[in-house]
A and B are shown apart, each in its own frame.
Chain A
Amino acid sequence: MRRTLTTGLAASVLLLTGLVTAWAGGVSWRYKVKYVGTWDIQPNGDVKAVRTFTVPAMMYANWKTNNLHMKEMRSFNPAISTVKCDDLDFKWDDVKRTLTLSMTVRGLAVNKGDHWEAMMAPGLQFSNIDATHKKAYFHGSLVNPQTTVNGQDVVTFPADATDIKNTDGRTLRFKMPENAAQARGASALWWALFGVALASGGALLGLSIVGGKPAKKPAKKKT
């Protein structure tokens, strides 16, 4: 299984709708679910992820009564998951009817040497990149007979990130200072050679001037 940003949390959207279908038992109206996600990429490749779902009261009550969040969080169990998640947490807000799942996914962004890569889950629509504020925006939408789910995910890059791109709709690429330094380091040898060549040339030039004959002064006329 490829590791992607929104791994597991994308599934949670589907799970939400699936469980609604089961519980609703054929009720014909459509539930509207909204979500907001933030994905903060850390300089070491960890991603701090938070997704908050706002759901109708009936769905909220079902989830809370049946502890369905525990089933959701099982997908991050080390026995199954191919990512390591720290600080897994789930919060309820009875007033706002929100379910919030948060975690730190270790090493989700990968250092490729001359750049970093982070991949979004399939099914999310890329919106745009705000290079000034170092953010990328994605939208998600899911419709089935009982539920519509709509939301937005915001990916925030490290403060030092540069050259942020979305290469194929899913893959986010960016560079960090150590990538630039590596690029510089790759040409260090050439710089050294250039320096040695200049120094050698300068030394030879100097020696040739010192070792060469002085310019002849024009002879003074005898009177």
Chain B
Amino acid sequence: MKAKQLRIAGAILIAVSIVFLILALTSGKSAAKVTGDLEVSMQTREYIMSGVYKVYALKDRPAGIWAAKTIFENKTGAPVENLKVRYKMEGFSDWGSWHVYKRLVPTQMVVDTYYPLLSDRCAKQANRTPTELTMEYEYEDAAGEKHSDSMAKRLTMLGVREVVYRTLPLEEVHGQFQEFFANSPLTAAWVTPDDKAVGGLAALANEKALGAGASINDENCIKVMREAYEIMRTINVTYQSPGGGGGSFGDKSFDPMLVQSIQYPRDTIRKRSGTCIELAILYASMLKSQGIKPYLVMLPGHCFPIGQLPTSGSFIPVESTCVGGGGRNSQDFAQAVKIARKEWSDLLKSRQFMLVDVEKCIEMGIVPPDLEPLPEDILQRWKITDMVAGKTGTGGTPSAVRPGQWSVTLTNAQRRLTGVAQVQVQGNQVVLVFGLQYNQVDARGVNHRYEEVNRFNGTIQGKIITGQCRQAAWKIDGRQVRPTLPMNLKLQVSADGRSAQGTAGGTAGQVQVAMTWTK
């Protein structure tokens, strides 16, 4: 090409490149001026629940389980780039990873929430502890200048046995039960089927049920449920009315204040007492450890458990406070179910309750904290196995035979009679009062009506009762007659103290005695 042409081409190329340069420099970041600030405000929870520390970090967590919430609003008038936020909680959580927001256009708002990954130190939190939550952030403004800042707030880490049920401020609550107990699903974190104390006690109950596989069929399931309840009575777990419960829920277990204290099942077993929710949680834990699907029913001022049958899917509610205590008599499983069924039926009409599906909550990740491991022989150390085996303890431990009403069957070669016995026990002294009514035909074929009340005073040594009757009242056809005394009694009591067999009689003859405790 000629020089002139080359010069022209060069000039054109230079002009084109300058145009490209201008395009490149004017595209991309806007030339807007920074006229205001990035507004930042942070809101934190008043309490963090150490008992559910694992729940905070769940991907799909229950609503309201956040520790802090930071709101950024871009009022700079220009875009903000690379906003990064992170948090930590002093003593419980290190700095988390940065939450990055690439770009905030003018007036854009970002709500960043902090779900802390808390350390297992939380499981050792016996009491409340203050802590500090710190948030730090950084960003670039439109001019490319970097900014950073931090904010900190004090909050309280609750003890591992404490739970906050209400999520709304009190002034926002209308008064419906569900509003006071919105965090009810978190109660599932207190169900500890894998705890050695719970598993051991449940296994003992299963032995009593002759190893019935609870998940095989409904009948076996009910057997296990019954024995799980009865073993609580055997080891003398009692209902303890909570102190100081007031407010609109009266004298029930729930304190309408924000924070509720709930002991774990191992504590209930060790102390042999608990509030309604603690007894319900213990029972639910035992059911779960035996493969029975448990639920917790939470209603104003109360809580009771439900077991679901494997085949029919039916609910078996159990009033766990019927174990006795708190001014109430101990009642058997059948009665506990009867009372709970009535409660459940009333609740289905009123709808003032929350049903906690324990298994579903566990699947969601609402699981117990890692409590201190217990030794294998913990039930022995707590004298539980001795109580179940029927050995008497010292100072307040139960005797081998249950006081109360017993059903009695007397048999000999000629006849079989049934009656009732009242048993009273004081130390190793025992009083058995037998009441019998029966008909008998005499040698002439005449039918007579017999009534006997026989009082045996005796002693109990180990599982053997020996006694003698020197006081009785007999009637034949309504007329007082002289009893044939003395009569002697010897009975062998079963391991659980609820049945006995032996012999009784005197000069008139001997009968076989079989007794079963009823109430």
A and B physically associate: yes
Within 8 A of B (CB), among A70-126: 70-71, 74-75, 77-80, 82-84, 106-107, 110-114
CA distance A83 to B63 in the complex (A): 12
Indicate which residue in A75, A82, A186, A198 contacts B17 across the interface (CB closer than 8 Å).
A198
Indicate which residue in A71, A114, A184 contacts B27 across the interface (CB closer than 8 Å).
A184
* Residues of chain B within 8 A of A198, CB atoms compared: 13-14, 16-17, 20
Q: How many positions in chain A have a CB within 8 Å of any CB in the partner chain? A: 55
Indicate which residue in B18, B29, B71 contacts A185 across the interface (CB closer than 8 Å).
B29
CA distance A197 to B106 in the complex (A): 37
User: CB of B7 within 8 A of chain A?
Assistant: yes
Q: How many positions in chain B have a CB within 8 Å of any CB in the partner chain? A: 55
User: CB of B102 within 8 A of chain A?
Assistant: yes
CA distance A87 to B16 in the complex (A): 53
CA distance A206 to B167 in the complex (A): 77
Contact B13 A195 (CB under 8 A): no
Interface centre among B14, B79, B167 (most CB of A within 10 A): B14
A-B contact count (CB 8 A): 152
* Residues of chain A within 8 A of B11, CB atoms compared: 202, 206
Closest to A179 in B: B103
In the complex, per-residue mask of B132-144: 1 if CB is within 8 Å of any chain A CB, else 0: 0000000000000
Closest to A183 in B: B28
Contact A106 B21 (CB under 8 A): no
A31 to chain B, nearest CB (A): 17
Given contacts A84-B111, A107-B109, contact A203 B14 (CB under 8 A): yes
Contact B103 A113 (CB under 8 A): yes
User: CB of B3 within 8 A of chain A?
Assistant: yes
Contact B21 A196 (CB under 8 A): yes
CA distance A171 to B509 in the complex (A): 89
Known: A46-B107, A71-B174, A111-B108. 5 other contacts (CB 8 A): A74-B179, A114-B102, A178-B105, A184-B27, A205-B10
Contact residues of A with B, CB < 8 Å?
Answer: 1, 3, 22, 25, 43-46, 70-71, 74-75, 77-80, 82-84, 106-107, 110-114, 176, 178, 181-182, 184-192, 194-199, 201-203, 205-206, 209-210, 212, 214-215
Contact residues of B with A, CB < 8 Å?
Answer: 2-3, 6-7, 9-14, 16-21, 23-25, 27-30, 43, 61, 63-64, 66, 69, 71, 73-74, 79, 101-111, 113, 167-169, 172, 174, 176, 179, 182, 349, 351
Can you list 10 A-B contacts (CB < 8 A)? A178-B30, A178-B79, A181-B28, A192-B24, A195-B18, A201-B13, A205-B9, A206-B10, A209-B6, A215-B2
